[in-house]
Amino acid sequence: MTLRLAITAGEPAGIGPDLCIQIAQLPQEHELVVIANADLLHQRAAELGLPLTLQVFDPDSPIRASGNGTLTIYPVALRTPVIAGQLDARNSDYVLETLRLAAAGCLDGRWQGIVTAPVHKGIINEAGIAFSGHTEYFRDYCGVEEVVMMLATTDLRVALVTTHLPLRAVADAITPDRISRVVRILNHDLKQYFGIADPRILVAGLNPHAGEDGHLGREELDIINPTLAQLRAEGIDLIGPLPADTLFTPKHLQHADAALAMYHDQGLPVLKFHGFGRAANITLGLPLVRTSVDHGTALDLAATGKTDAGSLNTAIAVAAHMASNRT
């Protein structure tokens, strides 16, 4: 089935536009609708020395696969001209408008999924706009109470109980309610989007050695263990809490469909070491399909021709897989 997927080109001074142009050079199975400024893409293509033809999005036209130098464009006006590698806070509104249009179009059925190129959180906040990331943005836009951030390679999936929190705040955020909501979403979406009938999820502890029977912290005894027991009673297959340095070994991972880490830098360094540049960031719990690249804006590489579109290709493939299972 040929699908229509939206791609937001991300921070205009970063490598997002470059990646969109690079994937246009490759044969694609699906129609890729890039939500971006058309002049920006043409300018960046010229800087890269790559051919690019843009066809303006028409919701009434048949879905047609992209590739061979061609993309579909959903044009958005920049607030100020872009110089590759140079951030400008005035374009923060443009970046957020691409996200809004992507979400609105997915919810009304114009496309079946969203793939996001990297944005620069710092410059958006410098513009006076509170922004902590794509994950939280789409959660708030869609009006859902909880979403789950999961990164995936071809053979490893890692989800997070907490995401963009200072380490000092993590322990207070590990509550029975939060763990329960995250596990239920993860279990549900592994079934719905990945076709796994009975997902097996490995759960990491919060503390070193998973608390060492309370000697290195009591969160495992007082919060995590009782919560996992209740979730197992609902029929969810959970193993843990395990020490993170034990969980992330082949012996354990080979028998699991996903790993659940308690915080960002507990789980993601392992996954990125395992498959950086070939992983996709996935937001679970939304009423739409959303994936992203596993890297940042790389301002120093914009317009140099030195970028690798591997993660964007993975994110597109994962979004298509999820959307196909959902439909």
Binding residues for substrate: 134-135, 272, 281, 290
**DSSP string for residues in 234-289:** TT-EEEEEE-HHHHTSHHHHTT-SEEEESSHHHHHHHHHHHHTTS-EEEEESSSS-
Residue numbers belonging to the annotated binding site: 134-135, 164, 209, 264, 272, 281, 290
Annotated binding site for a divalent metal cation: 164, 209, 264
The tokens for 277 are: 């540049």
Give one DSSP letter per residue of 84-103, joined into a string: TTB--GGGHHHHHHHHHHHH
| Contact of 131 with 125, CB cutoff 8 Å | yes
Report DSSP state, residue 83: B
Instruction: Collect all residues with Cβ–Cβ distance below 8 Å to 79 and sequence separation of at least 6.
Output: 90, 91, 93, 94
And the tokens for 180? 């329960």
